[in-house]
Amino acid sequence: MQGFRDRTQVEDVLALISRRIERLDVEPVALRNTAGRVLGEEIRAGAPVPAFDRAAMDGYALQGHETKDATVRTPALFHCIGEARPGHLCNLTVGPGETIQITTGSALPRGADTVVRVESTQREGPMVRVLEATAVGRHVGRIGEDIEAETVVLSAGRVLRPQDLGVLSAVGAGTVAVVRQSRVAVISTGDELITAGHLPSAYQIADMNSGMLEALIVRDGGVPRIVGPLPDDRDRIRAEIAEAARWADVVLISGGTSTGPEDHIPGIVAELGELVIHGVALRPAGPAGLGFIGRTAVVLLPGNPVSCLCAYDFFAGPIVRLQGGRPRNWPYRPMSLPLSRPLVSIAGRVDYARVKVEQGQVEPLATSGASILSSTTRADGFVVVPSELDGYPANALVTVWLYDLFPPSG
Ligand code: AMP
Ligand code: MG
């Protein structure tokens, strides 16, 4: 078994990703299916919202200046000539000494400029007594007060929230151009693997990577399709990779990515397309790689589950997010905290160290083996030790990338 002769630095892999990975095209999607999708175009309001002046209160529409001396003792008297209801055209015009009973949301009738609240009035047959001076324009929602015509309501790149769908409805959008989601094939390989959901017998292990990768891809806005687990059968794996490269935007392959006799993946990718990177100065994901088959990106993820997660976090995740028009940055929350004890690393490679956060201090987890996926379950997050450092001393302030969106307890 031969090792890697040279390992590419993490920053060079990331630079290659920036150069080679492009945002996917936009596709039209019905408005109601766009929550969580990335807007592909700027949206402008074609018309003002609301498109008419409207009552903001239940009461009486009239000419506000006529109420200027009104008090409880000296009410101003108006003749009610009709009513205005939301969604109905009121064809009356309010003249001097006249008023129209109006409900919230109704278009303000012609001639009126003010709404007096119903609480400030007394009604007697056709007559309305106004008991309170009401300034001109009071309780009227102006045309365009919500959204002025021609303003940009949402910019391209926006990850649409439920309330954005409301605003898009208001400006008349029925179909929205959103960035196509990255289609991601997940192929885990290894003779020892069985599909998750069964307890493995002797010499077998459950495929831990497919389920984890599927969830990561969904989190990053991609659409995963699980192809494996596949046995270490070169022809079979080659055929599945070739097939996946036809429909997928990214193919993720876990296992068989190193330099041993059963590590078929690098050779297959080189045959089908180009293997640009094989071997990265990153612990615990040294046997990672990156290539292309046609326009499809292929990421080689080491089979060890922690290595697989690490390689996804560093390389696959940014690709899925960039293709989908999302920020390439980690979707983890950074927190700056002191180390409880030294964090040892080796200069020349990047380290992905799982840590716990206890009482405001960062505790490196003793188990650093790449096969111990439960170390990531016990961890609150990870610290990245850059290639030029051989670690951090106790009490050094480090950035913890929290796996959860919520602060850890303890
Ligand atoms: P490989 O990268 O194929 O050399 O695998 C390295 C180690 O990771 C071996 O101990 C494999 O059994 C283990 N492994 C590979 N793929 C998976 C997987 N999908 N789930 C859990 N462990 C795996
Ligand atoms: Mg293997």
pLDDT tens readout for residues 45-82? 999 999 999 999 999 999 999 999 999 999 999 999 99
CA of 204 to the centre of ligand 2 (A): 12
- Out of 4, 191, 193, mutate this one to test ligand 1's pocket (max ligand atoms within 8 Å of CB): namely 193
pLDDT digits (tens, 9 = 90+) for 330-347: 999 999 999 999 999 999
Q: What pLDDT, on a 0 to 100 scale, did the predictor assign at position 370?
A: 65
- What pLDDT band is residue 351 in, cutting at 50, 70 and 90? very high
Task: Find out whether the beta carbon of 279 lies less than 6 Å from any atom of ligand 1.
Answer: no
Q: Which of 305, 400, 313 is nearest to 361 (CA)?
A: 400
Partners of residue 156 on adjacent β-strands: none
Task: Find out whether the beta carbon of 208 lies less than 6 Å from any atom of ligand 1.
Answer: yes
CA of 203 to the centre of ligand 1 (A): 12
Task: Find out whether the beta carbon of 305 lies less than 6 Å from any atom of ligand 1.
Answer: yes
- What pLDDT band is residue 374 in, cutting at 50, 70 and 90? confident
Residue 1, pLDDT > 80, answer no
CB atoms within 10 A of CB 298: 28
CA of 306 to the centre of ligand 2 (A): 14
- The arithmetic mean of pLDDT across residues 342-371, rounded, is 89
CA of 13 to the centre of ligand 2 (A): 23
Percent of the chain with pLDDT over 70: 97
pLDDT digits (tens, 9 = 90+) for 151-180: 999 999 999 999 999 999 999 999 999 999
Task: Find out whether the beta carbon of 67 lies less than 6 Å from any atom of ligand 1.
Answer: no
Task: Find out whether the beta carbon of 226 lies less than 6 Å from any atom of ligand 1.
Answer: no
pLDDT digits (tens, 9 = 90+) for 172-222: 999 999 999 999 999 999 999 999 998 888 899 999 999 999 999 999 999
Task: Find out whether the beta carbon of 257 lies less than 6 Å from any atom of ligand 1.
Answer: yes
**What phi-psi label fits residue 204: left (phi over 0), alpha (psi between -120 and 50 degrees) or beta?**
beta
CA of 213 to the centre of ligand 2 (A): 17
Nearest-atom index, ligand 1, CA of 192: 12
Q: Which of 290, 298, 390 is nearest to 344 (CA)?
A: 390
Residue 407, pLDDT > 50, answer no
Task: Find out whether the beta carbon of 207 lies less than 6 Å from any atom of ligand 1.
Answer: yes
Q: What pLDDT, on a 0 to 100 scale, did the predictor assign at position 3?
A: 80
Q: What pLDDT, on a 0 to 100 scale, did the predictor assign at position 25?
A: 98
- Of all protein residues, the one whose alpha carbon is nearest to atom 10 of ligand 1 is 304
Is residue 177 within 8 A of residue 216, CB to CB? The reply is no
Q: What pLDDT, on a 0 to 100 scale, did the predictor assign at position 291?
A: 98
Task: Find out whether the beta carbon of 255 lies less than 6 Å from any atom of ligand 1.
Answer: yes
Q: What pLDDT, on a 0 to 100 scale, did the predictor assign at position 2?
A: 63
- What pLDDT band is residue 376 in, cutting at 50, 70 and 90? confident
